[in-house]
Amino acid sequence: MGLRKQLRKVFVTYLLIWAFLIASLPLRGQSIVTSSSVTGGSSAFVFRKAQKARKESALPSRRSRAKRSTEQRKDTQARISRQSRAVAKSNRNRRSTKQVNPQDFAKIDVVELERKSPQEASVVFAGLAEYYIEREEIDKAILAYEQAVELDKSNKDALLGLSESYTRKGDDALEEDDYGKAKRYYDEAVKLDPLNPSAWAGRGQYYDSLDQDEDAKSDYLKALSLDPDFNQVKLPLGIIYYQEGEIAKSDELVVAALSGDANNAETQYFLGLIRYKQGRDAEAETALRKAIALDDSNEDAHYYLGAVLNRMGREKDAVKEFERATQLDDKYVPAWFDLGVAYYNQERWVDSTKAFAQAIKFNSNQTEDLKKIYSESYANMAEGYRQLEEFDKAVTNYRIAVSRIKDDAELYSNYGFVLGRQEKWKPAIENFKKAAELQSDAISYANLGWAYLNQAAYDRSYNQPRSMIEGSLREAKPALAKAVQFDPSFVAAYLNLGVVLNDLGEYLEAAKALEKANSLQKDWGPAMQELGVAYSKLGKYSEAIKLFQKVLKQEDKNIWALFYLGEAEYRSGDKKEARKIQQRLQPLSRKLANQLETILRGNA
């Protein structure tokens, strides 16, 4: 009876003993996890990413809209209205009608006024209106202008003055959120004077308030074409270009707006967003910090500052900004998601799963971006529970994630890994197959072979028929052969292939695969130990002894290395040294020590 078969009978109740070690191997950002079975055989699973969250940020790489706060919109509207009045005053030089004060108007005899022609009377009323508008008595000015226009519809000054007055009324209505009234006033103002930049700017604000970007852009551009110095219009126009993904145009306009007023929180905020899009992170940080200094209540400014800092590698600082964003808005889904990512990357697994749970809880799934965040939140939460070794919770979240994300090989692979940790090897293998279908490469096939290998070890631990065990091993062999074909320098695949070949009794081929693993990664314990086993089976005891001794220098209490070393010493003829090894093994594993004792007595 072979040694491994004897050991199987001793440990039939043990199932698999897992000893997970993240190996520092040169795998282009990947990480290897090794495991050992009850028979001491090692195998390696490969994660594509080394302890990093799946998706680094909720921010989409394509065009994205940025939320504008009501307070900042109002502030921008107020700034436009103030400049609008200044522009209107400078445009009064287009009118030549002289003012008529109310006292002089009162002295005019009604009969005398009636004797005047309608055109003459219209001029008098227009003069009275000019007096009132100069003194900001807009309602009185409107009554006088309307009378002047009624008397003479061709009175140009009255038409221009009435356009200015209606613009003012539109601004007042917009400030009170009476959008219907504002629109009526602006429409009339534009009709009365198509060259009134303030009227176009005002109606642009109306459309902007309702996020009707195309109409707002058209009116803002008209206002600027009439008055290129209308700087306050440049910010909302630049914002619209940003929302449309026209970053260069947005940059030009926002910078121009900033030159006129550096203390506008919304201008600094959008400058920060533009610089973020351009990858100019230091400038983005400066602008966003200025925006926050001017208005700390903007959760988006904190969120984007966190994104900038995160991209600059300042993850701890980023976490503070994401946390502040969620304090300002406890339903802020992207901030919760990115906070979860940051916690995950800091190995704060519990905090990470809590943050992703919040990202799921408050996600309305109303847009494609939110739907993606929703799906990725489940995937990332599953990863967090995997790190916590709460495998039931991990499986629950993986199951939801793969029902929504059907094209991600890494997700299926990690799901399979966790199922393996639960010793559910058949569904694990199905997930690895799916991963290989989606991404046919060395990692996918190495992990598929790993799963078949562990299925065989699992069946062996339950004393299943040899045919069943060999069936899994023979499925593992071509998968691992394909892995090394894809990548001839893939050390993990060579280890797994060597273990499979050892278990199939193909020791010469096993030695070749394991020698390759050792040449690729010098002094890697699992590969040295398995190569030692192959050498022992081939009768190359001195080589095997050297390998087991090297393993024990790395890990002096490795019971399997001790066991195989004792056996190799005995087979090589050094029974005295074998006895010393058996005594060294005794306090570490009585069962293995007893098995070695059986060998030393010549009974195996």
Q: Which tens digits make up the pLDDT trace of 369-413?
A: 899 999 999 999 999 999 999 999 999 999 999 999 999 999 999
Residue 4 has pLDDT above 70, yes or no: no
What pLDDT shows up at residue 65? 66
Q: Which tens digits make up the pLDDT trace of 331-364?
A: 999 999 999 999 999 999 999 999 999 999 999 9
Q: Which tokens is 450 given?
A: 């790993």
Least confident of 23-32, 82-91, 125-134, 522-531: 23-32
CB-CB neighbours of 293 under 10 Å? 12
Q: How far apart are CA 159 and CA 161, in angstroms?
A: 5
What pLDDT shows up at residue 42? 75
Residue 39 has pLDDT above 80, yes or no: no
Residue 29 has pLDDT above 80, yes or no: no
CB of 415 closer than 8 Å to CB of 396:
no
SS3 (DSSP) at 47: strand
Contacts (Cβ under 8 Å, ≥6 apart) of 174: 77, 182, 202, 205, 206, 209
pLDDT, mean over the chain: 89
What pLDDT shows up at residue 116? 79
Output the pTM of the full model. 0.80
Q: How far apart are CA 520 and CA 495, in angstroms?
A: 11
Q: Which residue has the higher pLDDT, 16 or 544?
A: 544
The alpha carbon of 223 is separated from its chain's Cα centroid by a whole number of angstroms, namely: 39
What pLDDT shows up at residue 104? 85
Residue 5 pLDDT grade (very low, low, confident, very high; cuts 50, 70, 90): very low
The mean per-residue pLDDT over the stretch 32-42 comes to 63
Give backbone dihedrals phi and psi of 505, rounded to 5 degrees, phi first.
Answer: 80, 10
The mean per-residue pLDDT over the stretch 126-147 comes to 95
Q: Dump the DSSP string for 129-187.
A: HHHHHHTT-HHHHHHHHHHHHHH-TT-HHHHHHHHHHHHHHHHHHHHTT-HHHHHHHHH
CB-CB neighbours of 535 under 10 Å? 25
Q: How far apart are CA 32 and CA 430, in angstroms?
A: 21
Alpha-carbon dihedral sign for residues 254, 256, 257, 261: positive
The mean per-residue pLDDT over the stretch 48-73 comes to 68
What pLDDT shows up at residue 52? 67
Q: How far apart are CA 456 and CA 471, in angstroms?
A: 8
Q: Which tens digits make up the pLDDT trace of 469-484?
A: 999 999 999 999 999 9
What pLDDT shows up at residue 72? 79
The mean per-residue pLDDT over the stretch 259-274 comes to 90
Least confident of 3-12, 119-128, 171-180, 249-258: 3-12
Alpha-carbon dihedral sign for residues 433, 434, 437, 441: negative
Residue 23 has pLDDT above 70, yes or no: no
Instruction: Please name the residue that has the structure tokens 């074909």.
Output: 485
The mean per-residue pLDDT over the stretch 6-20 comes to 37
What pLDDT shows up at residue 54? 66
Q: How far apart are CA 69 and CA 532, in angstroms?
A: 68
What pLDDT shows up at residue 26? 42
Residue 307 pLDDT grade (very low, low, confident, very high; cuts 50, 70, 90): very high
What pLDDT shows up at residue 113? 67
Share of the chain above pLDDT 90, in %: 80
